[in-house]
Structure 1
Amino acid sequence: MDLQDQLKNLFPDHIQEEDSSTEESSNIWMQDDPIICKYEKRKGKPITILEGYTGATEDFKILAKEIKTKLSVGGSFKDDKIIIQGDYRDKIMRILKDKGFQVKRVGG
């Protein structure tokens, strides 16, 4: 008897729910054009900028929040661009490719 069976015996009325973060990320609209991942320095500090998403703004905000939490960094969403503090181009590109997006690296 494994743990799941034991839990079902203890709590027969419990309904198992799926993780809500996977549901949100699976509903994000995919596009044909690649998302552009740029590197800049502003006031001497490195930042990574993501732009070129043609879907809904709310979906892009969800994506921004997910990237910031996965990388444990700060950032913002302004003018249909995601601005991440630091140079995380490789990690961000890997996250987006795992989600099914096409990503194009620009600059440096």
Structure 2
Amino acid sequence: MKSFADLGGLVYSTESGRMCPDCRQPVAQCTCKQNKPLPTGDGIVRVSRETKGRGGKAVTLVKGVLVDEAALTQLGKQLKAACGSGGTVKDGVIEVQGDHVERVMAALQKLGHKVKRAGG
């Protein structure tokens, strides 16, 4: 039989809350997040519209933003608020529900990003 440590270790502590599975520190003091490099690319943010796998519903995708995960989540929150709709941030891509390509491009340009429309 395996020991509890082999199963992945401590996930939650009543003393300090959620724990990072990699460095075994509280999530607020996690050290492994700080070592992640920034994404690389050509510096151009690409905005596109997609409907694949979503039952015909349109989603605006924002790719190529060269910021860390926390800043990307914050930018996603700003874009969703500007469009008045929901969305998410997955794997470095911001998804905004609905066809908001023009609004998202305008908001990103206002924030100082170099923006291109991708796709049709």
**Scaled by the length of structure 2, what TM-score is found?**
0.61
Higher helix share: 1
The two structures, once aligned, show a CA RMSD in angstroms of 1.4
**Scaled by the length of structure 1, what TM-score is found?**
0.68
Q: Which structure 1 residue ranges, 4+ long, deviate > 6 Å from structure 2?
A: none
Query: Unpaired runs of 5+ in structure 2?
Result: 1-40
The answer for the alignment partner of 2:82 in structure 1 is: 70
Q: How many equivalent pairs are there? A: 78
Cα distance between partner residues in 2 of 1:74 and 1:39: 15
Percent of aligned pairs with the same amino acid = 33
Cα distance between partner residues in 2 of 1:32 and 1:45: 30
Cα distance between partner residues in 2 of 1:77 and 1:45: 17
Give the secondary-structure state (helix, strand or coil) at the position aligned to 1:69. Answer: helix
Residue by residue, what CA displacement relative to the aligned partner does 1:75-106 show, whole Å, maximum 9, x if unpaired? 01111110111110001000000110011101
Give the secondary-structure state (helix, strand or coil) at the position aligned to 1:83. Answer: strand
Larger relative contact order (CA 8 Å, sep ≥ 6) = 1
List aligned pairs for 1:90-105, cutoff 5 A. Answer: 90-105=102-117
Residue by residue, what CA displacement relative to the aligned partner does 1:54-92 show, whole Å, maximum 9, x if unpaired? 221111110000111121101011111101111100010
Query: Unpaired runs of 5+ in structure 1?
Result: 1-30
